[in-house]
């Protein structure tokens, strides 16, 4: 009787198991690397979101101060004009520099108004950047979480979803930068 040829299946099984472990560990390493990159992007994006939020608040406070100053000048002008009207009604003399004072107050008001409006515009611009960056931070955090879930659940397709959500975060980052 001819001898049976024995196929070393144990060796093949061991080799296949090692290859599977290597592919799994390299996949997990890629998830870890992509998560680290997403974490860095999230940190930078959060820093920029915070910066623009702070600048928006500061500019809005400066604008509020300018509008208060504008109101003060308006009140001074109104008092001056009331005094001039009362003098006309009572036939009292009008100071020679009254017209110059009115002109000065109006010019000052115009300058203050322009500064206040510019600060409000700057505040809105900063807030617009902040909103895009905040969305980016959220997307990066979700992407990192999905990446972690993909490792825990051993689902490489979830890691691909993580990368897609990270790409969306990158798009939000770019919108914050350029819009």
By the 8 A CB rule, do 58 and 97 touch?
A: no
DSSP 3-state assignment of 172?
Answer: helix
Which band of pLDDT confidence, cut at 50, 70 and 90, is reported for residue 179?
confident
Give yes or no for residue 143 having a pLDDT over 50: yes
- Summary mean pLDDT of the chain: 90
The DSSP code for 3 is: P
The DSSP code for 86 is: H
By the 8 A CB rule, do 115 and 59 touch?
A: no
DSSP 3-state assignment of 97?
Answer: coil
9-48 pLDDT, tens digit each: 455 446 445 655 655 678 899 999 999 999 999 999 999 9
What Rg, from alpha-carbon coordinates, does the chain have?
34
pTM, two decimals, is: 0.77
């Amino acid at each position: 009787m001819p001898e049976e040829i024995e196929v070393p299946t144990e060796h093949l099984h061991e080799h296949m198991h090692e290859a599977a472990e290597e592919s799994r560990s390299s996949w997990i390493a890629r998830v870890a690397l992509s998560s680290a990159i997403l974490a860095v992007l999230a940190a930078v994006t959060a820093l920029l979101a915070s910066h623009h939020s702070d600048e928006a608040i500061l500019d809005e406070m400066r604008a509020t101060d300018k509008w208060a100053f504008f109101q003060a000048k308006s009140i001074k002008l109104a008092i001056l004009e009331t005094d001039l009207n009362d003098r006309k009604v009572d036939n009292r003399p009008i100071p020679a520099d009254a017209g110059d004072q009115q002109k000065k107050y109006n010019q000052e008001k115009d300058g203050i108004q322009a500064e206040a409006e510019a600060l409000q515009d700057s505040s809105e611009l900063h807030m617009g950047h902040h909103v895009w960056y905040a969305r980016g931070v959220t997307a990066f955090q979700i992407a990192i979480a999905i990446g972690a879930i993909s490792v825990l659940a051993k689902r490489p397709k979830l890691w691909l979803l993580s990368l897609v959500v990270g790409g969306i975060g990158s798009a939000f980052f770019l919108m914050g930068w350029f819009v």
